[in-house]
Amino acid sequence: MTLTASYEHCRRINARHGRSFYLATLLLPAWKRRHVHALYGFTRHVDDIVDACGESAADADGRACALDEVTGRLNAGLAGETVRDPVLPAFVHTVRSFGIERTDLDAFLRSMRADLTVTRYGTYGDLMVYMEGSAAAIGLMMLPILETMPGAGRPARKPARELGRAFQLTNFLRDVTEDLARGRVYLPQEDLAKFGVTEDDLRRGTPAPALRDLVAFEAERARDHYRRALDGIELLAPSSRPCIRAAYELYGGILDEIALAGHDVLTGRARVPRRRRAAIFTRHLVAAWAAGHAERRRPAAALP
């Protein structure tokens, strides 16, 4: 697969599976956008491997082998070898172009491997360890693509990690039913016990008051991560801020929809209405155009 075709393949994965995030990426300059698609395409590809249906030992072994194979192809690609894979040419090109740290890649792959065997998390601290790779590391991998203001690279890392966690916690709440169908419960076991919720309550499909209270509690936890991430947006290059502000509002909007549904996450999948999605995109479109235009016009000598 050519590099161009690989980038297009990643773009299509993003457009098909990450509609809110894809909409936000349209606010980025085109040259940044394709690299974000490559990052999304790779992480989604690996996530799909570990999420493949089937609970038998053979299924688990097959997923482990598939994860080993894609990791091997990634290592080969980063070593300069040509690999036969639809997403890796674009992703490897992005990693090498921006110097994405291998430690962040390894953290992501460790969390994906954990999904092969770990289906429950005892405490929120345990879940945070998982999210260090599955969410925080992705936020860190995004940073060099988005660019930061001079001197803001290191300070921007903490809010980038927080935003990754906020997005993932939002997804966990939205996808309780889907995750349960895969045999996983990401709501911490100590929180289930604290609110008197059992896994049978999750399977019934009708939210009891205790489950609504638990979801409200976890949603506030997610909002706390959003609050901690907010100041980090100003540390990004101006042309990247509209995209991340839009993503912030779109994912936060999922929590709003969950609240409007009385914190019922069992009878329907929370979605931000199309009209609100369009309004968020439109509100940031002018700022995105102006920032991108200003960066293109700024003489190299005037760059900070």
Tens digit of pLDDT for each residue in 174-184? 999 999 999 99
* Within-domain flag for 301: no
Is residue 242 situated within a structural domain? yes
CA distance 237 to 18: 23
Closest CA to 43 of 87, 5, 101, 100: 87
CATH number for the domain spanning 177: value is 1.10.600.10
Q: Are 7 and 30 contacting, i.e. CB atoms less than 8 angstroms apart?
A: no
Q: What is the pLDDT of residue 53?
A: 56
Model confidence at 301: pLDDT above 60: no
299 in a domain, yes or no?
no
3-state secondary structure of 28: coil
pTM of the model: 0.93
**What confidence tens digit (pLDDT) does each residue in 165-221 have?**
999 999 999 999 999 999 999 999 999 999 999 999 999 888 999 999 999 999 999
Q: According to the model, what pLDDT value does residue 294 have?
A: 85
| pLDDT bucket at 90, cuts 50 / 70 / 90 | very high
Residue 37 lies in a domain: yes
The better pLDDT of the pair 301, 221 is held by 221
Rounded CA gap, 302 and 292, in Å?
15
Residue 304 lies in a domain: no
pLDDT value, residue 176: 96
Question: Lowest mean pLDDT: which of 59-73, 112-126, 233-247?
Answer: 59-73
| pLDDT on residue 55 | 55
Q: Which domain holds residue 58?
A: 3-293
Alpha carbons 111 and 47: distance in angstroms, whole number? 10
Residue 53 lies inside a defined structural domain of this protein: yes
How far is Cα 32 from Cα 25, in angstroms, rounded to an integer? 9
Within 8 A by CB and 6+ apart from 282, the residues are none
- Domain tally for the chain? 1
Confidence tier at 292 by pLDDT (50, 70, 90): confident
The CA distances from residue 152 to 26, 27, 157, 160, 233, in Å, are 24, 22, 9, 12, 11
pLDDT for 1: 78
Report the distance separating Cα 138 and Cα 160, nearest Å. Answer: 9
Does residue 119 sit within a domain?
yes
